Amino acid sequence: MTAMAHEPLTREEVLLEGFLALDTPEGFRAELIEGEIIVTPPPDGEHERYISRIVRQVNRRSRTDMDFSGNKGLKLKSGEACPKNHVIPDVTFAPLELDVFASAGSWMPCDGVAMVMEVTSTKPRADREAKRRCYARGGIPLYLLVDRDTSSITLFSDPEKDDYRQHCTLPLGKPVALPEPFAFELDTTDFL
């Protein structure tokens, strides 16, 4: 009896396998974004304050009841020569009626996700560029980015292929109109 020959793993398969086997220190998070493993330390208090303010407003003011998850892993489509992206938004929002988080494992598809949110941290370029492209490829309708370095907030919308076709950037302190299913103006005055 002869042993069956195994196909050698591709670079992308090896990278994905290595990524999924990572054991990051407590509080850190690892993501696989456009073929690069990115490890981020625990967020600081200001980072969490922005998240808290936005989540509270979404819960109180959205036209549709929203469920949310902090640090929920999303499996997203990849670009050319990249393994499947595994990205962890700071917050993921989905309509409560869809109950997308109930049966989700550690990494879930982005079906039913209405919006993801990031607050820039130690690797702001990833939030501004690579993650934006990943979320657009995944068809996530809205991406809200709080950029602490530029004191601005950007809402990306209308995903197509590798990017969002529309975006609105405003300085912190100005209201941001969130479209359906949220349908309210996000107040950012206390972000200053």
Residue ranges of the domains in the chain?
43-191
Is 81 buried (19+), middle (13-18) or exposed (0-12) by CB count in 10 A? Answer: exposed
Alpha-carbon distances, residue 139 vs 31, 77, 165 (angstroms): 19, 9, 12
CA distance 17 to 41: 22
Domain 43-191 has CATH 3.90.1640.10: no
Closest residue by Cα to residue 127 from 137, 139, 117, 136: 117
Mean pLDDT of residues grouped by 10 in the chain (192 residues)?
67 83 88 88 91 96 95 77 78 96 89 96 88 94 97 97 96 97 96 87
pLDDT, position 138:
92
pLDDT, position 106:
87
Token pair 């990943």: residue: 134
pLDDT, position 81:
47
Tokens of 97: 């009626």
Tokens of 100: 């997308």
pLDDT, position 131:
93
Q: Are 65 and 113 a contacting pair, CB within 8 Å?
A: no
Chain Cα centroid distance, residue 167: 16
